[in-house]
Homo-oligomer: A and B are copies of this chain.
Amino acid sequence: MEGNPIHFGIIGCAEISRKVSRAMSLAPSATLSAIGSRSIDKAKRFAVENGLPEAVNVYGSYEEVLDDPTVEAVYVPLPTSMHVQWAVAVAERKKHVLLEKPTALNVADLDRILEACESNGVQFMDGTMWVHHPRTHKMKELLSDPNRFGELRSVHSDFAYCGDAQFLENDIRVKPDLDGLGALGDTGWYCIRSILWANDYELPKTVTALQGTYFNKAGVILSCGASMVWEDGKVATFHCGLRINLVMDVTVHGSNGTLHLNDFVIPFKETSAPFTFGTKNGWAELSLGWRPLPSEHVVETDLPQEAYMVEEFVRLVKSIKDSGSKPDSKWPTISRKTQLVIDAVKASIDKGCEPINVVS
The CB with the most chain B CB atoms within 10 A, among A19, A161, A237, is that of A237
User: With contacts A156-B158, A293-B268 known, is A245 near B235, CB below 8 A?
Assistant: no
Q: CB-CB contacts of A203-239 with B at 8 A, as 1s and 0s?
A: 0001010111010000000010101010001110101
Q: Is the CB of A211 within 8 A of B239?
A: no
When A18-B286, A293-B268 are in contact, do A245 and B154 touch as well, CB less than 8 Å?
Answer: no
CA distance A158 to B279 in the complex (A): 17
Count class of interface residues, chain A: 35 or more
* Contacting pair A288 B253 (CB below 8 A): no
Is there an interface contact between A287 and B253, defined as CB atoms closer than 8 Å? no
Cβ contact of A153, chosen from B243, B253, B279, cutoff 8 A:
B243
When distances are taken between beta carbons in the complex, the residues of chain B under 8 Å from A243 are: 153, 255
Residues of B within 8 A of A212 (CB): 227, 229, 233-235
Q: Which residues of B contact A247 (CB under 8 A)?
A: 251, 253, 258, 278, 281
Report the stretch among A131-139, A259-267, A314-322 that lies at the interface.
A259-267
B contact residues around A223 at 8 Å (CB): 153-154, 235
Query: Which B-chain residue is minimally distant from A283 (CB atoms)?
Result: B266
CA distance A15 to B233 in the complex (A): 32
Shortest CB distance A185–B (Å): 18
In the complex, whether A42 has a CB less than 8 A from a CB of chain B is: no
User: Are A208 and B206 CB-contacts (below 8 A) given A154-B239, A286-B22?
Assistant: no
Shortest A255–chain B CB gap in Å is 6
Residue of B18, B210, B253, B267 touching A244 (CB-CB under 8 A): B253
- A154 CA to B211 CA, complexed, in Å: 12
Q: Are A288 and B304 in contact (CB under 8 A)?
A: yes
B18 touches A246 (CB 8 A): no
Looking at chain A's contact residues, is the secondary structure mostly helix, strand, loop, or mixed? strand
Interface string of A160-200 (1 = CB under 8 A from B): 11100000000000000000000000000000000000000
Query: What are the residues of chain B within 8 A of A150 when measuring CB–CB?
Result: 245
Contact of A229 among B22, B211, B233, B287 (CB under 8 A): B211
Question: B287 contacts A266, CB within 8 Å?
Answer: yes
Question: A-side interface residues toward B, CB under 8 Å?
Answer: 15, 18-19, 22, 150, 153-154, 156, 158, 160-162, 206, 208, 210-212, 214, 223, 225, 227, 229, 233-235, 237, 239, 241, 243-247, 249, 251, 253-258, 260, 262-263, 266-270, 276, 278-283, 286-290, 293-294, 304, 353, 355
Top-8 shortest CB links A-B: A246-B281, A212-B235, A212-B229, A210-B227, A270-B288, A153-B244, A244-B253, A211-B229
**Additional A-B contact list (10), CB under 8 Å, known A156-B156, A212-B234, A245-B280:** A19-B286, A153-B243, A156-B158, A160-B253, A210-B227, A214-B233, A243-B255, A245-B281, A263-B290, A270-B289
A–B pairs, 6, beta carbons within 8 Å: A19-B288, A211-B227, A223-B235, A244-B254, A245-B256, A266-B289
